[in-house]
């Protein structure tokens, strides 16, 4: 194996093992920031030794052993946790000679609990949403600062600053390294699911840049969701989110043309949909529903995605059922974006005029003021109603609001398809303030 092959192997091992490594170290030192530093130290040692000695048979155990020895050295030097020093240091010294068999056991010891603690710590609500996303991708996704910056199209120093501040905030707030109990669990779980969903959505429809999708982020979110589902098997919303992501990810190959142009849902070649991911998604949805209780937002969204997945052609889509599910979702988790999606389903089930009525009621919604999909959807309804001038104006407005180059091209193309028709001039509508 050449040096470059070894380095690629090390990076692959790091991406897989780093969450377990950091989680186990955080249990020892009770500090996520310090745990990451110790894990990084172990990686540096691997980069120095493995190209010469070769990749160990159990690289994860090797990294854990190296990192734990460094943790003990740190505790000895700092004299901050005498009890931990004696308790863990003596145990490690006694087992040092035995090496590999015991290291295997150490790697497996409480790894599920450790990962769960790390997920809940990285997604703690004391952090801003941006900080939670960055820290989760760093600690649990194994991404470098550069990779996170590239994925979100922000400067690398900005991401580095977010991560540093996040770790400092967790330390200053004395956030316990634990899985919350009782009522706090539901609140914190909601934050965890939100972060994973945000990561997936950014991969599925990139906010900005030259690519409409970033599949790597979708894969990172899916991996995190699958881990969480196995660690919390009795939580229906976790399985609901996994189901939603599996089904959405199944369309990846059909969503983009060979040139990178977006392909909308109803125009996709469904033969390109990944049937394995669809089956996995439907199984996860069934698992969520079997747990009982009123379906939550992620289970409902997964049920909507399942309606699309089960339709062999666009014409077979059960839009009545989708509109009904969006109605339930609007009651369970009301938001203007949900209402906008409901408008699309209603329009498909009952005609664009009914959808337009719902959208027009959203035009004065402050939270949608800069949301490009609002004029995009409205333009689509107007186009179908033959009001081409108005439709063109809406598509152009949507294009001016999006920061994604591919989406801008799509919207300008739709505007051009409306022809050179002047938009109708209408008196300004009164904007009713909603309570």
Q: Which CATH number fits the domain 332-435, given the four candidates 3.30.200.20, 2.60.120.10, 1.25.40.10, 1.10.510.10?
A: 1.25.40.10
Mean pLDDT for all residues in the chain: 86
Q: Using DSSP, state whether 403 is helix, strand or coil.
A: strand
The Cα-based distances of 273 to 136, 247, 279, 316, 318 in angstroms read 29, 9, 11, 16, 18
Q: What are the start-end ranges of the H helices in 79-182?
A: 82-95, 100-108, 111-122, 129-139, 145-152, 156-172
pLDDT above 70 for 225: yes
Could you tell me the CA-to-CA distances from 187 to 20, 136, 193 in Å, in that order?
Answer: 24, 18, 10
pLDDT(125) > 50: yes
Sign of torsion over alpha carbons 305, 307, 311, 314: negative
Question: Distance (Å, rounded) from C-alpha 131 to C-alpha 198?
Answer: 12
List, for residues 354-363, the tens digit of each pLDDT value. Answer: 999 999 999 9
pLDDT tens digits, one per residue of 163-189: 999 999 999 998 888 888 878 888 889
- R_g of the chain, CA atoms, integer Å: 25
More confidently predicted of 209 and 345 = 345
pLDDT tens for residues 21-58? 998 898 888 888 899 999 999 989 988 888 888 888 88
In this predicted structure, the answer to whether residue 102 has a pLDDT above a threshold of 70 is no
């Amino acid at each position: 194996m050449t040096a470059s092959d070894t380095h690629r192997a090390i990076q692959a091992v790091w991406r897989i093992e780093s969450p377990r490594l950091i989680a186990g170290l955080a249990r020892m030192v009770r500090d996520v920031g310090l745990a990451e530093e110790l894990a990084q130290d172990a990686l540096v040692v691997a980069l120095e030794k493995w190209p010469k000695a070769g990749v160990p048979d159990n690289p994860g155990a090797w990294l854990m052993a190296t990192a734990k020895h460094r943790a003990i050295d740190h505790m000895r030097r700092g004299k901050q946790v005498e009890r931990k020093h004696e308790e863990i240091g003596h145990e490690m010294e006694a087992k040092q000679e035995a090496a590999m068999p015991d290291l295997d056991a150490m790697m497996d010891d409480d790894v599920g609990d450790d990962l769960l603690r790390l997920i809940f710590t990285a997604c703690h609500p004391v952090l801003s949403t941006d900080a939670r996303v960055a820290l989760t991708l760093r600690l649990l996704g194994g991404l470098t600062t550069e990779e996170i910056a590239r994925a979100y199209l922000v400067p690398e120093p900005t991401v580095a600053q977010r991560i540093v501040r996040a770790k400092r905030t967790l330390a200053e707030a004395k956030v316990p390294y634990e899985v919350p109990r009782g009522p706090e669990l539901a609140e914190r779980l909601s934050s965890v699911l939100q972060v994973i969903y945000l990561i997936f959505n950014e991969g599925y429809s990139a906010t900005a840049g030259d690519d409409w999708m970033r599949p790597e982020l979708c894969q990172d979110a899916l991996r995190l969701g699958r881990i969480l589902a196995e660690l919390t098997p009795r939580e229906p919303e976790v399985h609901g989110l996994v189901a939603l992501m599996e089904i959405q990810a199944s369309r990846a190959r059909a969503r983009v043309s060979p040139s990178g142009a977006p392909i909308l849902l109803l125009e996709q070649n469904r033969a390109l949909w990944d049937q394995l991911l669809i089956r996995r998604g439907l199984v996860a949805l069934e698992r969520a529903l079997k747990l009982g209780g009123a379906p939550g937002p992620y289970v409902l969204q997964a049920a909507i995605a399942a309606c699309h997945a089960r339709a062999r052609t666009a014409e077979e889509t059960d839009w009545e059922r989708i509109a009904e599910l969006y109605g339930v979702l609007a009651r369970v988790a009301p938001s203007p974006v949900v209402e906008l999606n409901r408008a699309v389903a209603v329009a498909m089930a009952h005609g664009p005029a009914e959808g337009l009525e719902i959208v027009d009621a959203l035009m004065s919604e402050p939270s949608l003021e800069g949301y490009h999909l609002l004029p995009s959807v409205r333009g689509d309804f107007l186009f179908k109603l033959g009001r081409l001038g108005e439709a063109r104006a809406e598509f152009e407005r949507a294009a001016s609001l999006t920061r994604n180059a591919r989406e801008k091209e799509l919207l300008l193309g739709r505007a051009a398809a409306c022809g050179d028709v002047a938009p109708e001039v209408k008196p300004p509508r009164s904007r009713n303030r909603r309570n």
